[in-house]
Amino acid sequence: MKIGDIVVRKSYDKDVTFKIIDIKDTDKGTMYVLNGVNLRIVADSPLEDLEQVDEDNIGLSDVVFNKKVNESIKNIIESRRNNRKTGKYKNHKKKKREKSYRESKDTSSSRQTALAEIYPRDLKKIKITQVENSDSMIFSRPGKILHVDGDPNYLDVCIKVYKQLSINAIGKVISESEQPSKIVDIVKEVKPDIVVITGHDGVAKGVKDYFDLNNYRNSKYFVDSVARLRDYEPNYDDLVIYAGACQSFYEAILDAGANYASSPERVLIHCLDPVFVCQKVAYTNINDIVNIREVVSNTITGAKGVGGLQTRGKCREGYPRSAFFK
């Protein structure tokens, strides 16, 4: 077998599909370094545990995950479409309009009284009309996302889905170990509303102490990256941060300053989980707190793989819509 081959592990019932990314000679013999095709996991395995499969072959877990991905994308698009039709903030806007109308009416009455004192004869000639705001004139600006990924293949998949979900996302491929030293400069350059810091991770086999950062492959880099970003921008709502990958040290990443992280139960997460979390933040109005349970429920791995803190949305409404607005 060679680098680039697609394989499954016999000892794990061939449940997850991997790509060989490196071959190393170790004290235990030749070990093949593997990256999950759909899952953000990095693992190693001896040759005898591997079975090569066709690139079109997918493991049992991948079948389930792919179905969930399609369902999540469909739900997101339908939810936005329904919100536009019914008006998510319809009642809120209606109350504001009614209040505005009453205030305008009171103002109009006061204005007429004042005018009557100055121009008593010409008052009847003055006609003050009320202009009703139209929802069709409102436009929105979702939050901008910077997605930093240690895996170029995963990044390509994520960027495609961001585009499918109409999100302005900038992608950068940076290895996990280099992310801490580069993340702040990239954020200064891109000026995003939301930052995703991800790649591959994993907890050492047989580990019992899940609160030792040294037992994780790349969690220390995610923690360091988040900490540096929080030194740069301490406000959790001004800069929203998602960090982590498969089996990452969830608590340490949140403690470092992330809004969202993986993995609460040290499970494998899907490569698109960060996308589904951050799209919700990007499209939630800045006046609203993102519903964390709703965010988690629409990810592929759910509450076992992703979690976080209360966070304000990053979508801003504008008025009026330009005639040249696309």
pLDDT exceeds 80 at position 49: yes
pTM comes to: 0.75
Confidence label for 82 from pLDDT (cuts 50, 70 and 90): confident
Would 326 be classed as within a structural domain?
A: no
Would 324 be classed as within a structural domain?
A: no
Q: How far apart, in whole angstroms, are the C-alpha atoms of residue 236 and residue 299? A: 21
Which among 74, 108, 133 is the end of a domain?
Answer: 133
The reply to whether 177 and 202 lie within a common domain is: yes
The reply to whether 179 and 272 lie within a common domain is: yes
The reply to whether 80 and 218 lie within a common domain is: yes
The reply to whether 10 and 106 lie within a common domain is: no
Residue with tokens 């941060």: 241
Q: What is the pLDDT of residue 95?
A: 45
* Residue with more model confidence, 130 or 200: 200
DSSP H or E run through 29? strand 29-36
DSSP H or E run through 118? helix 90-118
The reply to whether 183 and 113 lie within a common domain is: no
Average pLDDT value for the chain: 83
132 Ramachandran zone, left/alpha/beta (phi>0; psi -120 to 50): beta
The reply to whether 219 and 309 lie within a common domain is: yes
The reply to whether 13 and 146 lie within a common domain is: no
Structural domain that includes position 268: 64-84+139-318
Q: What is the pLDDT of residue 114?
A: 56
The reply to whether 275 and 149 lie within a common domain is: yes
* Residue with more model confidence, 39 or 305: 305
The pLDDT of 140-156, averaged and rounded, is 94
The reply to whether 115 and 213 lie within a common domain is: no
- Identify the CA nearest to 249 among candidates 215, 299, 296, 297: 215
The reply to whether 126 and 238 lie within a common domain is: no
Confidence label for 20 from pLDDT (cuts 50, 70 and 90): confident
Number of structural domains, the chain?
Answer: 3
pLDDT exceeds 50 at position 55: yes
- Identify the CA nearest to 196 among candidates 248, 245, 148, 260: 148
Q: What is the pLDDT of residue 39?
A: 73
Pairing relationship of beta strands 240-243 and 194-198 according to DSSP bridges? parallel
Contact 321, 289 (CB under 8 A): no
The reply to whether 121 and 226 lie within a common domain is: no
The pLDDT of 42-69, averaged and rounded, is 73
Would 323 be classed as within a structural domain?
A: no
Would 177 be classed as within a structural domain?
A: yes
The pLDDT of 311-326, averaged and rounded, is 86
Q: How far apart, in whole angstroms, are the C-alpha atoms of residue 102 and residue 79? A: 33
The reply to whether 107 and 236 lie within a common domain is: no
Q: What is the pLDDT of residue 44?
A: 82
pLDDT in tens, 56-74: 665 555 555 667 777 778 7
Q: The domain spanning residue 217 has which CATH number?
A: 3.40.50.2300
Contact 321, 136 (CB under 8 A): yes
Q: What is the pLDDT of residue 43?
A: 78
- Identify the CA nearest to 199 among candidates 182, 212, 210: 182
Would 239 be classed as within a structural domain?
A: yes
